[in-house]
Amino acid sequence: MIVSVFQKAAEHIKSQPTLFYQFAFWYFMIHGLNLLALNGLSTTGVMGGFWVFTFMAYLILQVTLMHATWQGLVPVQEQEEGADGGVNISLAFSWGLRNWWRFFIVNLLYGLLVVGGAVVLIVPGIYLAVVCGLASTLVILEPCSIFDSFSLSQQWLKNYFKEMLALGALLVGVGLLTVLLGHPILVLMVQAVFGVFKTVVLVVFYSEIKALNNDSLSIESEEL
């Protein structure tokens, strides 16, 4: 399943390379500006405010990319009003503007859960990191509340724990390797490209898990 997810993500990016190159460019610019702001954070409050602005821009970009990827994966009839079956970047950007704060809160709560679990014991931290791993995607792409996204993630991943663990380990491992490239500009460039690919992979994985869970529910309904 993991190999299939990576293949579908790569094919999805190849189908609209210009769009994803543009996202990578903006990832690069925002990460670069973030680093500049952080370097000046201790000397001026203005740079602190600038960091907040670039961080918000990153969150909006991330949600926009998730929604744009999702648009390209689902049938027209499953998209919300305003979609035309292709990737409507204006619709995705509007979604990012409206939902970046939900994405931020879910990721903040996710981090607190994982760190809290790891403080108790390493294993609970890993377990929570895996079973709640889809929460930030679900809160953007599913009609659920911030807190419901965590319970929904656990429900969806109940039978796919190993797959989520393997995917998370691969993405974290590759992400850590990118910092070993040496030159800061090269690191930023590779991380920008990898950031786009990672987001597409997670959305594709979400769509696969959603389909599998829907199939399971259909089979259960037929049996009843």
Q: Which domain holds residue 140?
A: 2-223
For residue 75 the two structure tokens come to 């049938």
pTM, rounded to two decimals: 0.86
What is the total count of domains within the chain?
A: 1
Asked if 210 contacts 156 with a C-beta cutoff of 8 angstroms, the reply is: yes
Report which residue type is found at 222: E
Helix (H, G, I), strand (E, B) or coil at 158: coil
pLDDT value at residue 223:
43
Asked if 144 contacts 134 with a C-beta cutoff of 8 angstroms, the reply is: no
pLDDT value at residue 44:
55
pLDDT value at residue 197:
95
Asked if 71 contacts 79 with a C-beta cutoff of 8 angstroms, the reply is: yes
pLDDT value at residue 209:
93
Per residue of the chain (224 residues), what is the pLDDT tens digit? 889 999 999 999 998 889 999 999 999 988 888 777 666 655 555 566 677 888 899 999 999 999 999 988 875 434 454 444 468 899 999 999 999 999 999 999 999 999 988 887 788 889 999 999 999 999 999 999 999 999 999 999 989 999 999 999 999 999 888 878 777 788 888 889 999 999 999 999 999 999 888 865 444 434 43
Asked if 118 contacts 107 with a C-beta cutoff of 8 angstroms, the reply is: no
Asked if 26 contacts 61 with a C-beta cutoff of 8 angstroms, the reply is: yes
Q: Between 45-73 and 89-120, two packed helices, what is the crossing angle to 10 degrees?
A: 110
Q: Which residues contact 28 (CB under 8 A, 6 or more apart)?
A: 188, 189, 192
Concatenate the DSSP letters of all residues of 141-175 into one string: HSS--HHHHHHHHHHHTTT-HHHHHHHHHHHHHHH
Cα 27 to Cα 24: distance, rounded to the nearest angstrom: 5
CA distances (Å), origin 175, targets 23, 124, 184: 18, 22, 15
pLDDT value at residue 181:
78
pLDDT value at residue 117:
85
